[in-house]
């Protein structure tokens, strides 16, 4: 009765913005169907090859379940980004390269995206287990997405993908000093934020995002407990083993320490590593107590600078 009375709008993905005259082609392998506009076949080939190589060589760290993903290469965007999503299971790469090499590194843009995004493909494929799989059967891919996001924190999804960048290439954010700056600045300023603040952010103070937090927590786990540590933890979590807080229960099971101790140890580990290497550098201090994020400076008529 409730379903009959409720009225909701549903929509599938939007793939607008391309002129109908574009001729779309595809390259297929067992891991991926790369869909791309005619004219960028060498880039599409490269993406298909990188993905296939990663598929064959990184399963031991996340699991060997595999479902072919549709991957669309978009060339007519001004945004440089990409995503992987369920409902339907697909990925899009926006191929305009990122402008700041200090922030994401200087790998060819399509390689960078293939390495990072394919890890999300592997995550979703391997998190389709246990109760998450039951949700998939009853409610489709959106059901799995709901179950996965209820138990696997977003810091893991992104931290694991960023770790993979560094693990399989000679670049990746884990190799870039810029990526550690947010946490190093907090540590240098003596800030001791609670877990809730680090996890959820703040409207008042600067708090690093879940990519930075996730990388530290994931990298520590790989370093201390082995390459298959997160495969075991996330398999248990996505299966809802123990039903309540399965991710936290799995951390306890495979490390012998509780979740609070695990994340404290992880952050302390990196903090003490940087304390050793930080000698000789000078922190830039400011008299302002307020944090501002200044972007897009524009010189205006009276000679002052306007920031967004």
Q: Please state the closest distance from residue 91 (CB atom) to Zn ion, in A.
A: 11
Q: Please state the closest distance from residue 161 (CB atom) to Zn ion, in A.
A: 4
Using left for φ > 0, alpha for ψ between -120 and 50, and beta otherwise, residue 105 falls in left
- The tokens for 1 are 């009765």
The residue nearest Zn ion at its CB is: 161
Closest alpha carbon to 125 in 169, 26, 59: 59
Phi/psi of residue 71, nearest 5 degrees? -125, 115
- Residue 92 contacts residue 117 (beta carbons within 8 Å): no
Nearer to Zn ion, 161 or 186 (CB): 161
Helix axes 210-225, 154-168, angle to 10 degrees: 60
Q: Please state the closest distance from residue 155 (CB atom) to Zn ion, in A.
A: 11
Burial of 272 (0-12, 13-18, 19+ CB in 10 A): exposed
Nearer to Zn ion, 35 or 104 (CB): 104
Q: Please state the closest distance from residue 158 (CB atom) to Zn ion, in A.
A: 5
Quote the CA–CA distance of 60 and 127 in Å, as a whole number. 14
Nearer to Zn ion, 110 or 161 (CB): 161
Nearer to Zn ion, 156 or 229 (CB): 156
Quote the CA–CA distance of 169 and 198 in Å, as a whole number. 28
- The tokens for 235 are 């398999």
Nearer to Zn ion, 37 or 221 (CB): 221
Question: 17 in helix, strand or coil?
Answer: coil
Nearer to Zn ion, 111 or 158 (CB): 158
Q: Please state the closest distance from residue 211 (CB atom) to Zn ion, in A.
A: 8
Binding residues for Zn ion, rule: CB under 5 A, are 158, 161
Nearer to Zn ion, 13 or 28 (CB): 13
Quote the CA–CA distance of 218 and 221 in Å, as a whole number. 5
C-alpha neighbours within 13 Å on the C-beta side of residue 290: 4
Q: Please state the closest distance from residue 164 (CB atom) to Zn ion, in A.
A: 10
Nearer to Zn ion, 37 or 174 (CB): 174
Q: Please state the closest distance from residue 301 (CB atom) to Zn ion, in A.
A: 41
- The tokens for 204 are 């008042």
Q: Please state the closest distance from residue 83 (CB atom) to Zn ion, in A.
A: 7
Helix axes 259-277, 210-225, angle to 10 degrees: 100
Quote the CA–CA distance of 237 and 150 in Å, as a whole number. 10
């Amino acid at each position: 009765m409730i379903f009959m009375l409720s009225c909701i709008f549903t929509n599938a993905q939007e793939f607008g913005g391309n002129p109908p005259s574009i001729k779309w082609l595809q390259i297929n392998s067992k891991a991926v169907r790369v869909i791309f506009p005619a004219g960028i076949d060498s880039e599409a080939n490269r993406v298909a090859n990188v993905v296939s190589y990663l598929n064959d060589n990184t399963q031991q760290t996340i699991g060997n379940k595999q479902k072919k993903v549709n991957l669309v290469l978009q060339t007519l965007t001004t945004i440089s980004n990409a995503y992987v999503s369920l409902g339907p299971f697909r990925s899009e790469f926006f191929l305009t390269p990122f402008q700041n090499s200090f922030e994401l590194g200087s790998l060819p843009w399509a390689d960078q995206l293939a390495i990072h995004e394919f890890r999300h493909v592997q995550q979703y494929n391997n998190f389709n287990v246990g109760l998450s799989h039951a949700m998939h059967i009853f409610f489709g891919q959106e059901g799995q997405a709901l179950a996965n996001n209820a138990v696997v924190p977003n810091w893991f999804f992104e931290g694991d993908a960023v770790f993979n960048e560094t693990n399989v290439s000679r670049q990746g954010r884990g190799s870039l000093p810029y990526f550690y700056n947010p946490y190093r600045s907090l540590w240098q300023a003596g800030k001791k934020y609670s877990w809730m603040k680090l996890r959820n952010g703040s409207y008042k103070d600067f708090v690093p995002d879940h990519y930075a937090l996730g990388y530290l927590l994931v990298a520590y786990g790989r370093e201390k407990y082995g390459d298959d540590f997160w495969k075991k933890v996330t398999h248990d979590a996505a299966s809802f083993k123990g039903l309540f807080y399965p991710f936290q229960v799995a951390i306890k099971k495979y490390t012998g320490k509780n979740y609070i101790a695990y994340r404290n140890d992880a952050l302390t580990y990196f903090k003490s590593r940087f304390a050793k290497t930080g000698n000789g550098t000078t922190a830039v201090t400011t008299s302002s107590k307020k944090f501002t994020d200044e972007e897009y400076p524009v010189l205006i008529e009276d000679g002052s600078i306007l920031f967004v």
